[in-house]
Chains A and B, each alone.
Chain A
Amino acid sequence: MNFKHKYMFLLPGLLVLLAILIFPIGFTVRLSLSSWDSFYPGLDFIGLENYVRLFTDDSRFWEAFGRLSLLSLTTVFLQYIIGFSLALLVWKEIRFQRLFRVLFLIPMMTTPVIMTVVWRTVFHESLGPVNDFFSLFGMQPLWLSSEILSKFTVILVEVWQWTPFMFLLLLAGLLSLPKEPYLAASIDGAGPIRTFVYVTFPLMAPISIGAIIIRLIEASKIMDTVYVLTSGGPGTSTETSSFYIFIKGLREFQFGYSAALSITYLIIMIISFTVIAKILVKLMVRGE
């Protein structure tokens, strides 16, 4: 089916998106070649100076990027394991099935930044309930102000917030699986574990890959949680790429330099996602 009016359907959306986006993207590229900051606002041209600075004299950016990789890979891995387990648990007959499904979905419907404010009170080191519990054992862990534990807290909040999304995608996938392979497996006398390994997991591989990539994309933007929970602290121990770009751009107003950071970051991300997608496909669809 093909006709001349097909563009009438496509163009409204495409043009609106382009119209709103073309300036920001073009402008960011141009901005990255200028020295625009709060002292000398203006689009001068300094060539690739910002990029040279980024690659030779900014270990903080690369550390933030390493931290982002660690945080996002860990959270998405945990979300996948937990989300898949939860989806399997409420997939088949279980009492209160619908109630559990609704409960498992709820965190993703809540505003991350607002729930993080609540989590901050939960993990408050002297007045929060978590340390109230730990003080029973004479301990006062520094959930928000020690270098290692603050990372743990950020991961915990992210897992709480976004496991439901993984759960939703995977459960929707499970519910759409065909019945025949399961019949065949039960005729062959396969137990639940063998059925999972040889039937469910391979059938779910494409959906799993999609869900993991989507979550990685969203997790790489982690910003709200860090901003509210720790403000990147203590020191820079929870500072991620987005947060570092935010500090350079909107706190220190080094617009030119932060634009260079943004462009570099985007290019790295697009390459990483392509590579990750390829690796995942290899790992999960082996033997086919």
Chain B
Amino acid sequence: MSLFYSTLKYLAVTLWSMFVIAPFLWALTTSFKDFQSVTSGATYIPWVDFEPTLDGWRSLFKSPAQGGIAIVEPFFNSVIVTAAGSGISIILGTLAAYSLSRFTFRVGPIRNGDITFFFISQRIMPPVVLSIPFFIMLGKLGLLDTLFGLVLVYVVLLMPIAVWIMVDFFNKVPLEIDETALIDGCNPYQAFFKVVLPNSVPGIIVAGMFCMIFGWTDFFFAFILTFTEVQLLPVAIVALNSSITPWWSLSAAALVSVAPLVVVAFVVERYLSKGNLSGALK
């Protein structure tokens, strides 16, 4: 490849990388500012442009009454809801996907493809359409503003993703694996749990990561269905976005909320480079 081409290539990837990183760098430098250095115009380099303080980071652990945002509890609420929602979706979704990939269903005009489509089509619905009936339903059940109510909603949100990825994955796991197990005297349940499942770990990991991403980053349902008892991380942070926004706390909180899933990016890349993802995503 000519020098011109490769220069162009590196220029392009470098430019896009800078665009990707820019908001994080801005948040990082802003998180060390105080009221004075934020309102005096845009400044960038600590010690040179402005005097850094740790106020923003300290406010994460103070209660709102002390002018902080008490991020610890919302953080763990988000962890619990995301983990529970993803876990249930993966378990139920994997079982359903296995049956849709291996068996033939025929109920009237309904075939396998239609059932799969029914699962996946739940993603077409915008959150706002579901939020009003969910609001009324959870209210009737006494589950508004509870972790359990949110987990129920997240299962609807995440199970389609799990089914979508796992159906494609199982379609690529050779049938011989199941058949050999059955010939060896396993019943179908044993064949699934002892033989197929252990061979499906890469698919389950990919599906799990997607569920985690979409669960962790959801805002709207948590925003509508919780008030004071249970607060999730995105809602707690967006609540800061008012007329007098404390940019420093907001930036620090944003960085904390983003950090856990950046780890996921490394895992996804690893699977991508090893070629395991291509089977699970198509």
A1-40 interface with B by 8 A CB criterion = 1-3, 5-10, 12-14, 16-17, 20-21, 23-25, 27-28, 31
Q: A17-B156, A31-B132 are in contact. List 15 more A-B contacts (CB 8 A).
A: A1-B102, A2-B103, A6-B99, A9-B98, A102-B265, A110-B257, A113-B238, A160-B23, A173-B281, A223-B220, A242-B126, A245-B126, A249-B132, A250-B224, A270-B124
Contact sample, A vs B, 21 pairs, CB 8 Å cutoff: A1-B103, A1-B178, A1-B182, A2-B103, A10-B115, A13-B159, A16-B92, A31-B133, A98-B273, A106-B20, A107-B20, A110-B257, A110-B262, A111-B219, A115-B258, A118-B251, A122-B22, A217-B123, A217-B124, A224-B219, A255-B132
In Å, the complex CA distance between A3 and B159 comes to 25
How far does the Cβ of B268 sit from chain A's closest Cβ, in whole Å?
A: 6
Q: Report yes or no: A12 in contact with B95, Cβ–Cβ below 8 A.
A: yes
Residue of A nearest to B30 (CB): A121
8 Å CB contacts to B: which residues of A215-250? 217-218, 220-221, 223-224, 228, 241-243, 245-246, 249-250
Per-residue interface assignment for chain A, residues 125 to 141, with 1 indicating a CB less than 8 Å from any chain B CB and 0 otherwise = 01111011000000000
Do the beta carbons of B282 and A105 come within 8 Å of each other? no
Overall SS of chain A's interface: helix
Contact with B along A75-118 (1 / 0, CB 8 A): 00000001001100110001100101111111111111111011
Task: Determine if A13 and B96 form an interchain contact, defined as CB atoms under 8 angstroms apart.
Answer: yes
A-chain residues with CB within 8 Å of residue B42 when the two chains form the complex: 127-129, 131-132
Which residue on chain A has the smallest CB distance to residue B103? A6
**Among listed A51-59, A144-152, A259-267, A278-286, interface-contacting one:** A259-267
> Bound state CA distance, A142 and B67, in angstroms?
31
- Are A117 and B189 closer than 8 Å at their CB atoms? no
A16 near B105: Cβ-Cβ < 8 Å? no
A-side contacts of B152, CB under 8 Å: 20
Q: Are A28 and B238 in contact (CB under 8 A)?
A: no
A92 to chain B, nearest CB (A): 10
Residues of A with Cβ closer than 8 Å to B?
1-3, 5-10, 12-14, 16-17, 20-21, 23-25, 27-28, 31, 82, 85-86, 89-90, 94-95, 98, 100-115, 117-122, 126-129, 131-132, 160, 168-169, 171-173, 175-176, 207, 210, 217-218, 220-221, 223-224, 228, 241-243, 245-246, 249-250, 255, 258-259, 262, 265-266, 269-270, 273
A262 x B136 contact (CB < 8 A): no
Give Cα A169 to B164, complex, Å: 13
Give the distance to chain A from B146, nearest Cβ to Cβ, in Å: 15
User: Are A9 and B137 touching (Cβ within 8 A)?
Assistant: no
CA A255 to CA B129, docked complex, whole Å: 11
CB distance from A277 to the nearest CB of B (A): 12
Partner of B217, one of A111, A117, A258: A111
Interface residue? B32 (CB, 8 A): no
The answer to whether B250 has its CB under 8 Å from any CB of chain A is yes
- Asked if A269 contacts B44 (CB within 8 A), the reply is no
A111 with B132: CB separation less than 8 A: no
Given contacts A27-B137, A114-B258, contact A173 B282 (CB under 8 A): yes
Q: Which of A6, A114, A258 contacts B237 (CB 8 A)?
A: A114
Minimum Cβ distance to chain A for residue B136 (Å) = 7
Report B-chain residues with C-beta under 8 Å of the C-beta of A107.
20
Let me know if A102 and B21 touch, CB within 8 A: no
